[in-house]
A and B are shown apart, each in its own frame.
Chain A
Amino acid sequence: MESSSEDIQKHVKTYLMVGATLLVFTGVTVLVRTLPFFDFGVPGVDAPDIAFGLVIATFKSSLVMLIFMHLNHERGLIYKVLVFTVAFAVSLMGLTLFAQSNPIFPHADVTDELHVPDVTAADVDSKAAPAKAEAKH
């Protein structure tokens, strides 16, 4: 653990650089949402966009944990505690996702589903009013 003044002084520069990196990547996160270039998959927010956003968030949080919270040179007991934490947190997310994929009564209560027709290339070319284009589907 750092105990001398010089060691800490060296780390101050690291803290500032990591801070700047975090600020930059926060800007990237917003750009992912607002710039069409970063819109992966289907336009609008869908799974690839969410995954990309979460990857950036995970990268940023790793920086905070390893460098600001000193986890890069922490003691064994702390790591052991955190292994359990990660295991339980992952199980928590996993359980909810598992419940999604194996429901007990899948949509049994749905009797009146509204289906908005999908939009394809044919609708772009059509010069007629969009209402007519949707009637095709």
Chain B
Amino acid sequence: MEIPYTVSARRDTGLFNAKVGIWLFLASEVMLFGGLFSGYIFLRAGVRPGVDLPWPDAVYVHGPFIWLGFLNTLVLIASSVFVVLAWAQLKMRRYGMYQFYMSLVLICAAAFMVVKTIEYNSKLNHHFGARLNDGTLLDGALVADDKHHCPGDYVTFEATKAVFSLDRTGVFRKLDPYFLDFAVLKDGAELVVRAPGGQEVRGIPELANWLEGYASKNPSERRVTAEFVKPVTFQFRRKEVFGKHVFADRVPLFRGNELQGRLIDDTVEIEVHTVDLQMVRDEEKALAWAYLGEGFKAGYDQHKKEKLNDPLHRSFLEKGGTLPGAQLRIWQHPHPASEHGGEHVAGSAHGGSGASGHGSGEGHGAPVVSIKSSDIHFMGAHGPKFGTYYAIYFTMTALHGLHVVGGALVLAYFLFFGRKLYRKNPEHLANRVEVGGLFWHFVDLVWIFLFPIMYLM
């Protein structure tokens, strides 16, 4: 028998089944996102100035950030209009126009996900910040090393010995010379290893074969040490290091392998776009100036004076208002002091240790600094673990993004497989599209709140 009230409404409620169902579902979704929003309110309101890490100002996080979010909002609003128009066309039995508008909805959904990908890529792969031990935050991007294609957080280590793990349990059942794959051999040096038996093994494929053979002949051994005939200098990203801790005489890698030898360099090269001294006790002696130089310190003082004197701040202060001092301590686009106040001098920093003027090809002459590992409290890309704001940003936008994908899949099903139902019972299809459209509007609603909260506050 046919399920009743899939098309026609019940007399008592005036509703068809799916409509009741979708509204109940949307009510539960309100609680899901409501919980996350209230979590955000809790975290945002609970930041204790001077105690907790400051909440990043959205503009300082990334300038074009706001515009990408704005673009996504326009895209979703347009898609909401298109989905309701698609439903209207279906009610008017214009199937071709229904297909047209529904295709536009799917194009908007794809555009939204593309913009989201661009945003996430920028945060996870481009931006990088380091908080130093005195509270200074130097934020910007890792400088890429063109020769080896290693980003600025690479470690240079001269290895005399390698300890290979022969552990065949778990995920790494198959012995793989993984660390040899990612490690970029400096200056194209060849890898020559003296195996315990005394023979020389030359090159990575032979080393892999030898390890396989050794492991099968010695099933009870867990590790084997091999000496490099000549010390080899490796360069690899910090994230390849197990536990991210590099010792002066050894580097533990994933898969239980280890390099032994001598640490040459584990400084971090960052192109600085923002200097944030909100958490620093003494601005005069901030580590930022040790790396950038006194010229930049003068530029910072100049920036603070300029900010105080700009029309908005000046008029507010002269009317007796009080500004939180921390606001002045965020300095975007740092530059050395210029003779003419207020002029932007893009270019090299002189003085100080390690600051040089070449950018990473972005062309705005941002200073590049080489930070000693021992000065770094924590560092990383602008990913979820960089701070509370980032954690909740990624949680909420990713969950919302999954809802966009799910909704788009359902609407795509109605677009590509709707004709059969349309021929059989067009009102039934119209009802299903209406219900799918209600979910889509809900997704738009969530974004209407997410955008100002995440991007603007």
Say which residue of A34, A50, A89, A113 sits within 8 Å of B30 (CB atoms): A89
Cα distance, A45 to B56, chains bound together (Å): 11
Give A34-54 as 1s and 0s: 1 = Cβ < 8 Å from B's Cβ atoms: 101001001111000110011
Residues 405-457 (chain B) with a chain A CB within 8 angstroms: 437-438, 441-442, 444-445, 448-449, 451-452, 455-457
B449 contacts which chain A residues (CB < 8 A)? 54, 57, 61
Whether the pair B34, A121 counts as a contact (CB closer than 8 A) is no
Give the nearest-CB partner of B12 in chain A. Answer: A77
Cα distance, A107 to B46, chains bound together (Å): 11
Asked if A85 meets B456 with Cβ closer than 8 Å, knowing A64-B444, A92-B35, A119-B317, the reply is no
Whether the pair A120, B456 counts as a contact (CB closer than 8 A) is no
Whether the pair B34, A93 counts as a contact (CB closer than 8 A) is yes
Asked if A93 meets B41 with Cβ closer than 8 Å, knowing A11-B88, A119-B323, the reply is yes
Interface size bracket, A side: 35 or more
Say which residue of A12, A88, A121, A123 sits within 8 Å of B85 (CB atoms): A12
Say which residue of B51, B88, B314, B321 sits within 8 Å of A12 (CB atoms): B88
Tell yes or no: B247 within 8 A of A by CB: no
A116 contacts which chain B residues (CB < 8 A)? 49-50, 278, 324-326, 329
Whether the pair B27, A84 counts as a contact (CB closer than 8 A) is yes
CB proximity of B267 to chain A, nearest CB, Å: 27
Whether the pair B456, A30 counts as a contact (CB closer than 8 A) is yes
Q: Count how many chain B residues have C-beta atoms less than 8 Å from C-beta atoms of the other chain.
A: 82
Asked if A93 meets B37 with Cβ closer than 8 Å, knowing A19-B80, A33-B66, A42-B324, the reply is yes
Residues 281-335 (chain B) with a chain A CB within 8 angstroms: 281, 283-284, 301, 304-305, 308-309, 311-314, 316-318, 320-329
Whether the pair A100, B42 counts as a contact (CB closer than 8 A) is yes
Whether the pair A34, B84 counts as a contact (CB closer than 8 A) is no
A77 contacts which chain B residues (CB < 8 A)? 13-15, 20
Cα distance, A89 to B315, chains bound together (Å): 40
Tell yes or no: A114 within 8 A of B by CB: yes
B451 contacts which chain A residues (CB < 8 A)? 26, 29, 57
Say which residue of B13, B27, B34, B58 sits within 8 Å of A75 (CB atoms): B13
B135 contacts which chain A residues (CB < 8 A)? 114
Whether the pair A42, B24 counts as a contact (CB closer than 8 A) is no
Tell me if A's interface is mostly helix, strand, loop or mixed: helix
Residues 101-132 (chain A) with a chain B CB within 8 angstroms: 107, 110, 113-121, 123-124, 129-131
Whether the pair A33, B23 counts as a contact (CB closer than 8 A) is no
Q: Which of A57, A84, A119, A123 has the most CB of B within 10 A?
A: A119
CB proximity of B322 to chain A, nearest CB, Å: 5
CB proximity of B214 to chain A, nearest CB, Å: 53
Whether the pair A85, B452 counts as a contact (CB closer than 8 A) is no
Asked if A54 meets B312 with Cβ closer than 8 Å, knowing A8-B92, A42-B323, the reply is no
Tell yes or no: B31 within 8 A of A by CB: yes
> Which of B71-79, B153-161, B251-259, B356-364 is the contact stretch?
B71-79
Say which residue of B304, B326, B444, B452 sits within 8 Å of A130 (CB atoms): B304
CB proximity of A131 to chain B, nearest CB, Å: 6
Nearest 7 pairs of A and B residues by beta carbon: A19-B81, A114-B50, A119-B323, A85-B27, A116-B325, A33-B456, A36-B312
User: Can you list 10 residue pairs at the A/B interface with Cβ under 8 Å?
Assistant: A5-B91, A9-B88, A19-B78, A23-B78, A30-B456, A32-B456, A33-B66, A113-B48, A118-B322, A124-B309
- Excluding A124-B309, A130-B308, 16 further A-B contacts by CB distance (< 8 Å) are A8-B88, A8-B92, A11-B88, A43-B312, A43-B316, A64-B448, A84-B27, A85-B27, A93-B34, A99-B42, A100-B45, A113-B48, A118-B324, A118-B325, A119-B322, A124-B314
| B-binding residues in A (CB < 8 A) | 1-3, 5, 8-9, 11-12, 15-16, 18-19, 22-23, 26-27, 29-30, 32-34, 36, 39, 42-45, 49-50, 53-54, 56-57, 60-61, 64-65, 68-69, 75-78, 81-82, 84-85, 88-89, 92-93, 95-97, 99-100, 107, 110, 113-121, 123-124, 129-131, 134
